[in-house]
Amino acid sequence: MSQNPANMSTKRLCGPGSSPESGDVILEPSSLKLREPRKRWRSAFIAIYFTRALRSLVREIIGNTTETVINVKGIDENVKEDRIFASVDRKKLIIMIKDKRLDHLHELGGAERIAAELISNPETGIRGDEEDLKSRRAAFGENKYHRPPPKSFLYFVVDSLKDLTIIILLVCASLSLAFGIKEEGPREGWYDGGSISIAVFMVVMVSAVTNFRQSRQFHELSKVSDNIQIDVVRNGRRQHISIFDIVVGDVVILQIGDQIPADGLFLDGHSLQIDESSMTGESEHIEINKESHPFLVSGGKVVDGYGRMLVISVGMNTAWGELMSSISHDNNELTPLQYRLSKLTSAIGKAGSLIAFFVLVVLLVRYFTGNTVDEKGNRQYIGKKTKVDDIMNGVVHIISVAVTIIVVAIPEGLPLAVTLTLAYSMKRMMADQAMVRRLSACETMGSATIICTDKTGTLTMNQMKVVKFTLGKEAILGNKVAVINPGIIELIHQGVALNTTASVYKADSSSEPEFSGSPTEKAILSWAVMELNMDMAKMKLSYEILHVETFNSQKKRSGALVRKKSTNTVHAHWKGAAEIILRMCSKYYDKSGAVKTLDEDDRKAVLHKIEDMASQALRCIAFAHLEVDHQTLTEEKLIFLGVVGLKDPCREGVKDAIDLCRRAKVKIKMITGDNILTAKAIALECGILESSTVTDSELVEGVQFRNFSYEDRMEKICQIKVMARSSPSDKLLMIKSLKEKGEVVGVTGDGTNDAPALKEANVGLAMGIQGTEVAKESSDIVIMDDNFKSVVSILKWGRCVYNNIQKFIQFQLTVNVAALIINLVAACSSGEVPLTAVQLLWVNLIMDTLGALALATDRPTDELMDKPPIGWTQPLITNVMWRNLSFQALYQVTVLLTLQFKGKSIFKVKELVKNTIIFNTFVLCQVFNEFNARKLEKKNVFQGIFRNRLFLWIVAATIILQVLMVELLRKFADTERLNWTQWAICVIIAALSWPLAWVVKCIPVPEKPFLDYLKRTRS
C-alpha cells in the first residue's frame, strides 16, 4: 500500500479475488515467487497471513473460538514488530474515513481485508499483549489529542496586574519612590514607595498563585471527565478499557448511549444509528450499514441499535482529535452565586469609592490650607515656600491612601472565595464519588427541594441474580430443570444466547466463564450457562441472526429473528418486562413441551405469579417464542416460555440516607421502569414509602401520570412518591411539572433516553458505572459509584458551598465597614488616617485571600441537613448575618476610634506607637473574628475546628506575619515596636469579640429579611 524508500513499484498483498492488473500480489502458491531484493518482512507477513487464514478455516470446521498467538519475533529476530504494518497505507485509511470514501474501501478489499492487514480478527480482535499494543502505538499513534496548554503562572500574574486599583497603586509607589530617593537619598528614601510596591507584589502573587492552582485543578478534573470507558474484544475476550488505551485494529463494542472512541469501520450489528451532530451540526441520525454507510467517526453517539467496529485511526489522525485539540478546557463559567456576588461587590465598591473620593477631597483641602503637619509637628504646606517635590510627594501620599481605601472597600475576595470553595468542593466531591461537570450544580444542589431517583443501581446494588423461574404457569423449584422437555430448554437457550448484547468468555474448557454486559443481561446469561448448561459459542455457530430489535426503555423489550442452520427454520424470540411480553402471547408451553392455549384464567394465573415475584422485590423478565415462515419479527400471537425473577438487593445505608433527606426537608421520588409491585417493595425497603398501606396518590404508573389532566397532575404531583413502569417521557413530564410548582429538582439518570430529563432538571445526576456517555454529557454531576448515598453527599456539599460563602461574606463585610468608617471619621476630623497604604494592603491580603482560604474550605456536617433547602430568592446576607456583622463592626469602630483620639493620653505614647497599636488591634480583631464567622448561629465557634487544619494554619501564619510586620518590618509597615503590655492590651481588646459574639447570638432576629422592611417603607 505504501511505497518503499527507494521509490520502487511495490505491490499490495491481497487475498483471493484480486486481479494482477491492479498491481496486487495474489496470495496464491503460483504467485509467491518473490524477487531477491524483497525485504524479509514480506516473508514474515505472508507467513502470518496464511497462518491466520488456516486458523480461521480450522475454527469454522471445529468451532474452536480460542485465539492463536503467533510469535512474530520467531520468524526474524532482526525485524521490529511494528515493521509488520509497513504495508499499510495509513494516509489512505485516514482519508477514507474522514472523507467517507466507499471507493477506497472497495479498493482495499472491505473491512475484513483491512482487519487482516492490521493483524486483527473481526471476531476475536487483536492479541492485546504489551508488545502488540506497543507496536500499534508506535505505528499508528495513541488515542489522545494535543490539548491546548493550561494557562501559565505568568498569565495569572499579568492578569492580576491588570486591575485598575493595582495599576494606580503601582504608579503612586513609583512616584513616591522617585521623590523619596531624590529627597532623602537611596538609603532612606525608598521606604515609602518600596513598601507599597512590596505590599502590592504580595497581593498580586497570592492572588496569582491561588488562581493558578484552581486553574490546574479544573484542568485535571477535565482529564478525568474525558476518560471514557469502552468495551473492546481482545484475544477473544471482552474487556472494559479507557478510551485512551484504544489502538488501531481494536474491535469495539457499541451500544445505545456509547460515544464512538475513534474513527473506524462497521463490522456487524443491527439497527445501528449514530448522532454525528457534535461533528457535522446535522441533527438527523445516520443509519450505519456495511453497504452504503460503514464509516464511524469519533465523537459520534450511538442513539439506537448495537454494533461492532474496527478501529482504523486514532487520536490526532481523527477529525474529532483535531477539533478537540483546538478547544480550550479553561472553565470561565460564571455561576449564579458568583453573579449575585459580583453585583454585591459592585454595590459595595461604589460606596467605598464615594468614601475614598470624599477622603481624598478632605485630605487635599486640609493639605493645601496648611492643616496637615508632619511627625515633628511642622506644617507640610506653607504656600510658595514649599518645594514642588514636597508638594508632589504629599499629594502622591494622599492619593495612595485614597486608592488603598478603595482597594480595601472593594471586596474582590468574594468572587475568589466562591472559586476557592467550588474548587475545594469539587476536589473533595471526587473523593466522595461525585465528579462535577458544571460548577453551578454545586450551588444549585444546596437549594434542591426534590430528588427524583432511579431504582436499579442507585437505590439497589445492581448485582442481579436469577432466584426464581416459572415455565409457563408452573414454578420450577431449585435445580429441577431436568424435568423440562429438552426442546423447551433449547428454545430458552435460543432466547437467551441470541437475543442479548452480553457475551461469555472462556479461556479454556477448565476455566470459569466470564460474563460481560449489563447486570440484567449478565445475570440471565449466567443462569442459562450455569443452570441450563447452555453453550454460548455453539449457539452462535448453529444459528444465524437475521434481525434484531434492541432493548430500549420506551418499549421495555428486545427481539431477535434467527435461522437455525441445520433445519433452515426461522424463529422469533422476545424478551422483556413480564406483563408486556405476556400481553403479546396467545399460547404457552408447559414443562413437557406441549403448546396450550392461554385463556383468561391461565393468563390470570401467570400474572399472579409475576405479581408474587414482584411483591418480593424481584425484577421479572419474561421470554416468548414463535416459529415463523417469513422474515418478519412478529410481535403477536407468541408462545409464552416463562419468567425469571432477578433479585437486586438494596444498597447498605440507603435507608439512612433517605431519612437524612427527609430531615433536611428534601423529598425523594422514585421513578422506575419496573413493575409497580417491585417498585413498591423496594420503596418500602428503602424508606421512601413509610407504610405498607400506600394510597393511590403516593404510588402511580407512568401511563396514569401521563393521562392525568393538567389540573389533576399539578394537584397530585407533590404527593406522588413512586412512579412505576415509567418511560423517559414520563420522567421528563414529572420534572417539568415539579419545576412549574416552583420546586428545585435534582434527577438521576443512566440511559440515552434520560438525556432530556437530565438537561431539564435543575441538577442532572448521571450514573458513572451504568450511565451511557450521552447521559453523562447531558448531566451536571456524574455519580461515580451509582450510589444514592453519594447523591446525599452532593446535597450536603451544595449546602456547604453556600454556607461557606455566607461565612466569608459576614467576615469580609465586617472588615469593610470597620475600615471605611474608621478612615472616614479620622480623615474628616484630624486630616490623617490611622492606617497607612501598606497597612491597609496587608489587611486586604488577610481578609481577601487568606480569609477566603480559611473560611471557604470547611467540610460539610450533618448540621447542614437540619435546615430546610436554601431558597433561590433568599437574600445572600440573612438577618442573622446582619446582626452578627453589625455588632462586631460597631465594636471595632468604637474601640479603634477611641484609640485614635485618646490613645496617646491613655497609653502615654508617641503618635507612631499609637498608630501601631491601632493597626495591631485592628488586624487581631479580624483574626479573632474569623473564629466567630465559622458559625453563623451556633454559640460554640470552636466545634469541629480540628477538622479544618488549613484554617488553623492560616490563623497561625497570619499571627506570625503580623508579629513580623510590627516588630521587624518597621520601616516597611511604618510601625513601631510594642512592649509586652501593649501586645497584651491589643490581644485582650481583640479577644473580647468572642464573648461579644456569644451574647449577640442570644438576640433573636425576625425571619423576614431586613431589606423587605426597607422596601415596604419606601413604597
Please count the residues of the chain. Answer: 1019
**Residue 252 pairs with which residues in a beta bridge?**
232, 309
The H or E element that residue 782 is part of is: strand 781-783
Q: Which amino acid is at 65?
A: T
Spatial CA neighbour of 65 closest among 528, 443, 541: 541
Spatial CA neighbour of 449 closest among 750, 693, 720, 664: 664
Q: Which residues, including other chains, have CB under 8 Å from residue 408's CB and lie 6 or more apart?
A: 352, 815, 816, 819, 820, 840, 843, 844
Residues 820, 408: contact at Cβ < 8 Å? yes
Instruction: Enter the DSSP assignment of 764.
Output: E
- Whether 454 sits among the annotated catalytic residues: the reply is yes
The C-alpha atoms of residue 311 and residue 231 are separated, in whole angstroms, by 13
Query: Would you give the distance in Å from CA 620 to the centre of its chain?
Result: 33
Residues 816, 409: contact at Cβ < 8 Å? yes
The C-alpha atoms of residue 627 and residue 918 are separated, in whole angstroms, by 95
454, 754, 858, 974: the active-site residue:
454
Spatial CA neighbour of 959 closest among 983, 933, 935: 983
The H or E element that residue 159 is part of is: helix 153-161
The C-alpha atoms of residue 118 and residue 88 are separated, in whole angstroms, by 8
Question: At which residue does the C-alpha cell 449489563 appear?
Answer: 518
DSSP 217-252: HHHHHHHHHH--EEEEEETTEEEEEEGGG--TT-EE
**Residue 296 pairs with which residues in a beta bridge?**
264
3-class DSSP state for residue 283? coil
The C-alpha atoms of residue 833 and residue 818 are separated, in whole angstroms, by 13
**Residue 669 pairs with which residues in a beta bridge?**
452
3-class DSSP state for residue 612? helix
Instruction: Enter the DSSP assignment of 673.
Output: S
- Count of CB atoms situated within 10 Å of the CB of 155: 14
Question: At which residue does the C-alpha cell 497604604 appear?
Answer: 837
Spatial CA neighbour of 407 closest among 200, 155, 207: 200
- Work out the burial of residue 384: count CB atoms within 10 Å of its CB; fewer than 13 is exposed, 13-18 middle, 19 or more buried: exposed
Q: At what angle do helices 336-368 and 788-830 cross, to 10 degrees?
A: 10
Instruction: Tell me the HSE value of 514 on the side-chain side, using a 13 A CA sphere.
Output: 12
Instruction: Enter the DSSP assignment of 76.
Output: -
- Count of CB atoms situated within 10 Å of the CB of 352: 20
Give the residue numbers marked as catalytic: 454
